[in-house]
């Protein structure tokens, strides 16, 4: 129905995600695979992707917020779900009720979770994972604090120290020595926990880049995000395993006009037609996640099998395309991301033009664009 109201859509190839999960799970083995489905599975659809990755061999799911975990549980997902950051203290009861596995790194957070378990009165300990900051400096306790926090968890009958983890800051630059330094620090901490009789069942550090480029980082579990969606975490890591992008973004031409040479197009009038041409209007814009400056940075689309430039600034709900003298008509398919014929436009291409990363490109495709699942 949405496509009748506005002819723009995102295609999600769940078969590609399932197949990629199998490939990555095989590479990770014997470590288990945690599929990161935060941010609506990087714009692909969390519920649909969760089912596909679990079918493809993932053992865990990873989310950023308690709400994301609740949404998965409410749709019948029973697999282990890890909260990748410590939950707010007031969210403890929801974490316990929905059987989520939180990461912890503050004494106050640990105490709040223990209280939530006690208040629930189930008598069942809640598994938690202690996160140690070995150099990313986003979240996680300092290595010097880790033993004390692990003891605090151990002393609370309501909690179980199931895991210990860290996050790699620069694993997508395999020539850097910093990842090895992080892992050395992490290994020292894990050894200290074991000496104290606090050995966790699950040790984990690797993200997508860690899995692909740093075998040492695999431990017992790998946390995979961007690679699940068919995109290498960095161009230097492309080709290590077969990856097929799962997301496409397409629309249909809604208006075509013939304009003379010298006509300037869109807000700011910064695109001038070098020759007489047809301008095709496409009903998708920056409110949908197509960056406003994409056309001004050389962004293109594919229409009738040919690459054509986006003409000027992308507007909130629409963009214009210079199709030259091609006989483009209302209803023709326009590919912004994905394939048409022999041509392909990738998220990496957008990222290179815009000076960003493919993660931002795909997770920015907004909910106004309905998803078609295959």
Q: Which of 38, 131, 160, 250 is catalytic?
A: 38
Q: Which of 105, 115, 229, 267 is catalytic?
A: 267
Report how far residue 72's alpha carbon sits from residue 75's, in angstroms, rounded to the nearest whole number.
5
Q: Is the dihedral of CA 59, 209, 166, 45 positive or negative?
A: negative
**Is residue 250 flagged as an active site residue?**
no
Residue found under tokens 């996050």: 167
**Is residue 38 flagged as an active site residue?**
yes
Report how far residue 36's alpha carbon sits from residue 82's, in angstroms, rounded to the nearest whole number.
9
Is there a contact between 81 and 72 (Cβ–Cβ < 8 Å)? Answer: yes
Report how far residue 170's alpha carbon sits from residue 178's, in angstroms, rounded to the nearest whole number.
7
Structure tokens at 14: 């769940």
Report how far residue 315's alpha carbon sits from residue 313's, in angstroms, rounded to the nearest whole number.
6
**Smallest Cα–Cα separation from 207: which of 184, 185, 174, 249?**
174
Report how far residue 183's alpha carbon sits from residue 178's, in angstroms, rounded to the nearest whole number.
9
Catalytic residues: 38, 267
């Amino acid at each position: 129905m949405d496509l009748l109201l506005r002819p723009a859509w995102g295609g999600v190839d769940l078969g590609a995600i399932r197949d990629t999960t199998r490939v990555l799970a095989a590479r990770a083995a014997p470590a288990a695979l945690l599929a990161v489905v935060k941010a609506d599975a990087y714009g692909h659809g969390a519920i649909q992707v969760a089912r596909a990755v679990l079918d493809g061999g993932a053992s865990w799911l990873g989310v950023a917020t308690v709400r994301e975990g609740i949404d998965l549980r409410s749709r019948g997902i029973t697999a282990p779900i890890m909260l990748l950051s410590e939950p707010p203290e007031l969210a403890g009861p929801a974490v316990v009720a929905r059987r989520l596995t939180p990461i912890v790194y503050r004494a106050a957070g640990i105490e709040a979770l223990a209280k939530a378990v006690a208040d629930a009165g189930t008598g069942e300990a809640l598994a938690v994972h202690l996160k140690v900051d070995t150099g990313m400096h986003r979240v996680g306790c300092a290595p010097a604090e880790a033993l004390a926090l692990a003891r605090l968890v151990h002393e609370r009958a309501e909690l179980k120290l199931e895991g210990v983890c860290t996050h790699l800051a620069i694993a997508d630059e395999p020539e850097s020595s910093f990842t090895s330094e992080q892992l050395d620090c992490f290994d020292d901490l894990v050894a200290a926990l074991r000496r104290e009789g606090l050995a966790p069942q699950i040790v984990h550090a690797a993200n997508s880049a860690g899995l692909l480029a740093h075998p040492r980082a695999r431990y017992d579990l790998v946390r995979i995000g961007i690679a699940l969606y068919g995109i290498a975490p960095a161009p230097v890591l492309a080709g290590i395993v077969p990856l097929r992008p799962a997301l496409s973004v397409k629309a249909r031409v809604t208006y075509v006009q013939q304009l003379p040479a010298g006509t300037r197009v869109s807000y700011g009038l910064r695109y001038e037609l070098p020759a007489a041409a047809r301008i095709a209007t496409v009903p998708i814009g920056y409110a949908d996640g197509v960056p406003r400056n994409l056309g001004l940075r050389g962004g293109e689309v594919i229409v009738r099998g040919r690459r054509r430039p986006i003409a000027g600034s992308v507007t909130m709900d629409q963009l214009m395309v210079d199709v030259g003298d091609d006989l483009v008509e209302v209803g023709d398919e326009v590919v912004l991301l994905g394939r048409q014929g022999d041509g392909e436009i990738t998220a990496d291409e957008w990222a290179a033009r815009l000076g960003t990363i493919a993660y931002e490109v795909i997770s920015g495709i907004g909910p106004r664009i309905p998803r078609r699942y295959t």
